[in-house]
């Protein structure tokens, strides 16, 4: 059966800088100081020139709101498996994502077999397994940076935070979450091609994959939480460990799980741990460039919560845009537990370019002022990867609604914190 229903792929922006050059171009910014470095007066004291916006509105009622995610469409028995055939054939003949129209359950097993040949716009011949990247490919943005050029890839759902997975010429893939299957060829927008791939998909019988469905705890997270758990957690991070620091980004997410579960969840959702220093970035960036790999681990500034720097830092970014635009966040472990497991909190923002530091007159990153979009992007990325068992929004007793960053940019929020119970 040939399916041809498609949706348009998102616009891919290009840069004239290769990965190594991008790395070198950002080192001056990284070395000059973090996005939230404190401004210094002539006396050496932090500047307090930026006017403060209202930081909280206590009249908003504290509450817990359960989140219905893709994995809440869980499959616990063969009778609940979405109805679809056991075998399909699809044709990939352009660079857009193909909507197969097949709705799959979390944990369902799909066996892929791909045949065919393509000729890329630069005259390279490619088969479904893909080609190793050449030097010019460092100037290109691919849907899945970890996959080879021209390889077959897939994903579940079409949300912007969906995590693609590699298929290649053949292989068995366990579906990370519940949703619709999409297929594509791993090419950049400038790499058009002629030819086509035939993708055959065979699904295991429900009884076979039933045991592969990841169990969801019987107790949802919203029943384990109260707004009071966040009462003594600061609403904002700071650029200093002392009380004299400038307040910065909002604390807008929380995770429940062990350190290993936190790291595994970010990895599954395609977030990378960033380099810890400029020196690490130089070594890592050069090694990746020499290996013709994309560099996305650009260091981020150190910020403080509970009087200490972040325990972990993660980012998601297009390699060619990483210097100016990326999703990034910082995570701190608290001294609290929920259902016997550690509670972690963090601040997630989206760099969308550069702006003038209103304290120093220098250049700093500009964040998207609608920071709730970034909170929900993190939620969607974990949902698409099947990384959490249940989730909820918590409105604390003194929610953050509007404020300035340490560098003067404004942001606003509905005040909710997203909490995810990790698997």
Regarding whether 314 and 403 lie in a shared domain, the answer is yes
| 347 and 396 within one domain | yes
Task: Convert 181-198 to b/e letters by CB count within 10 Å (16 or more is b).
Answer: bbbbbbbbbebebeeebe
> Does 71 score more than 70 pLDDT?
no
Structure-model confidence comparison of residues 219 and 417, the more confident one: 417
**Domain assignment present for 356:** yes
Give the model's pLDDT for residue 42.
33
For the cut 70, the answer to whether the pLDDT of residue 389 exceeds it is yes
In which band, very low, low, confident or very high, does the pLDDT at 105 lie, cut at 50, 70 and 90?
Answer: confident
Asked whether residue 1 is assigned to any structural domain, the reply reads no
Looking at the structure, tell me whether residues 365 and 383 fall in a common domain. Answer: yes
Confirm whether 13 is domain-assigned: no
Full-model pTM? 0.75
Residue 205, Cβ neighbours under 10 Å: how many?
11
Same structural domain, 256 and 382: yes
Write the pLDDT tens digit of every residue in 285-319: 555 555 656 656 566 789 999 999 999 999 987 66
Higher pLDDT, 383 or 43: 383
Taking only the tens place, the pLDDT of each residue in 232-281 is: 999 999 988 988 888 989 999 999 999 999 999 999 999 999 856 556 65
Say whether both 85 and 62 belong to one domain: no
**Do residues 200 and 132 share a domain?**
yes
pLDDT tens per residue, range 118-158: 999 999 999 999 999 998 988 888 999 889 999 999 999 88
What is the rounded distance in angstroms from the CA atom of residue 283 to the CA atom of residue 252? Answer: 33
Is residue 291 included in any domain, yes or no? yes
Asked whether residue 136 is domain-assigned, the answer is yes
Q: Give the end of a domain, one of 146, 178, 212.
A: 212
pLDDT of residue 197: 98
Domain-ending residue, one of 212, 247, 282: 212
The secondary structure of the chain, three-state, reads: CCCCCECCCCCCCCCCCCHHHHHHHHHHHHHHCCCCCCCECCCCCECCCCCCCCCCCCCCCCEEEECCCHHHCCCCCHHHCCCCCCEEEEEECCCCCEEEEEEECCCCEEEEEEEEEEEECCCCEECCCCECCCHHHHHCCCCCCCCCECCEEEEECCCCCCCCEECCCEEEEECCCCEEEEEEECCCCCCCEEEEEEEEEEECCHHHHHHHCCCCCCCCHHHCCCHHHHCCCCCEEECCCCCCCCEEEECCEEEECCHHHHHHHHHHCCCEECCCCHHHHHHHHHHHHHCCCCCCCCCCCCCEECCEECCEEEEECCHHHCCCEEEEEEEEEEEEEECCEEEEEEEEEEEEEEEECCCCCCEEEEECCECHHHHHHHHHHHHHCCCEEEEEEEECCCCCCEEECCCCCEEECCCCEEEEEEC
Q: In this structure, are 354 and 382 located in the same domain?
A: yes
Q: pLDDT for 395-408, tens place per residue?
A: 999 898 988 776 66
Residue 412 has pLDDT above 70, yes or no: yes
Percent share of the chain, pLDDT over 90: 48
Q: Is residue 146 located within the same domain as residue 26?
A: no
Contact (CB, 8 A) for 141 and 320: yes
In a domain, 366, yes or no: yes
Has residue 106 got a pLDDT over 90? no
Single residue among 212, 238, 258 that ends a domain in this structure: 212
Same domain for 173 and 275, yes or no, is no
pLDDT at 254: 98
Q: Which of 299, 334, 325, 324 is nearest to 313 (CA)?
A: 299
210 or 344, higher pLDDT? 344
Number of domains in the chain: 2
What's the pLDDT tens digit per position in 267-291?
999 999 985 655 665 655 555 555 6
d(CA 254, CA 414): 16
Percentage of residues in the chain having pLDDT higher than 70 = 68
| CATH number of residue 131's parent domain | 2.60.120.430
Residue 41 lies in a domain: yes
User: Is residue 171 located within the same domain as residue 227?
Assistant: no
Average pLDDT, the chain: 79
The answer, yes or no, to whether residue 173 has pLDDT greater than 70, is yes
Do the domain assignments include residue 9? no
| pLDDT for residue 4 | 39
Average pLDDT, integer, range 181-185: 97
Model confidence over 9-56: pLDDT tens digits? 333 333 334 444 444 444 444 433 433 333 333 333 333 333 344 444
Nearby residues of 365 by Cβ (< 8 Å), 6 or more positions away:
35, 324, 351, 353, 354, 355
Domain that holds residue 322: 19-71+216-422
At 331-370, the pLDDT tens digits run 999 999 999 999 999 999 988 775 556 556 665 666 788 9
Q: What is the mean pLDDT of residues 151-169?
A: 91
The verdict on 261 and 364 lying in the same domain is: yes
Q: Are residues 415 and 300 in the same domain?
A: yes
Report the DSSP pairing between strands 179-185 and 98-104.
Answer: antiparallel
């Amino acid at each position: 059966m040939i399916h041809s229903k498609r949706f348009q792929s998102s616009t891919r922006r290009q840069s004239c800088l290769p990965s190594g050059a991008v790395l070198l171009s950002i080192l001056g910014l990284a070395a000059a100081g973090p996005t939230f470095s404190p401004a210094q007066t002539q006396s050496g004291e932090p500047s307090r020139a930026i006017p403060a916006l209202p930081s909280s509105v206590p009249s908003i009622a504290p509450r817990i709101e359960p989140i219905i995610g893709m994995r809440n469409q869980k499959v616990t028995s063969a009778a609940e498996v979405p109805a679809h055939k056991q075998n399909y054939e699809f044709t990939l003949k352009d660079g857009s994502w193909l909507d197969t129209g097949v709705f799959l359950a979390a944990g369902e097993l799909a066996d892929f077999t791909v045949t065919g040949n393509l000729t890329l716009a630069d005259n390279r011949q490619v088969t479904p397994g893909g080609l190793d990247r050449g030097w010019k490919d460092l100037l290109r943005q691919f849907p899945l940076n970890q996959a080879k050029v021209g390889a077959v890839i897939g994903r579940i759902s079409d949300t912007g935070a969906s995590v693609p997975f590699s298929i290649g010429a053949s292989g068995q893939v366990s579906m990370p979450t519940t949703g619709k299957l999409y297929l594509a060829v791993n090419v950049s927008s400038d790499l058009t091609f002629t030819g086509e791939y035939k993708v055959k998909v065979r699904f295991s019988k429900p009884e076979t994959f039933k045991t592969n469905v990841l169990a969801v705890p019987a107790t949802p997270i919203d029943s384990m939480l109260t707004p009071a758990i966040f009462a003594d957690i600061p609403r904002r991070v700071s650029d200093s460990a002392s009380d004299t620091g400038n307040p910065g980004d909002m604390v807008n997410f929380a995770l429940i799980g062990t350190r290993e579960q936190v790291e595994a969840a970010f990895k599954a959702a395609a977030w990378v741990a960033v380099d810890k220093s400029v020196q690490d970035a130089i070594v890592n960036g050069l090694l990746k460039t020499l290996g013709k790999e994309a560099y996305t681990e650009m260091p981020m500034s150190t910020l403080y919560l509970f009087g200490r720097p972040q325990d972990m830092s993660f980012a998601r970014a297009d390699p060619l845009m990483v210097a100016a635009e990326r999703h990034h966040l910082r995570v701190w472990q608290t001294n609290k537990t929920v259902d016997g497991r550690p509670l972690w909190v963090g601040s997630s923002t989206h760099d969308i370019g550069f702006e003038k530091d209103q304290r120093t007159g220098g250049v700093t990153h500009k964040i998207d002022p609608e920071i709730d979009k970034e909170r929900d992007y993190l939620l969607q990325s974990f949902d698409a990867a099947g990384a959490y068992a249940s989730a909820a929004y918590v409105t604390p007793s003194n929610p953050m609604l509007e404020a300035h960053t340490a560098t003067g940019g404004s942001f606003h929020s509905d005040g909710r914190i997203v909490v995810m119970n990790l698997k």
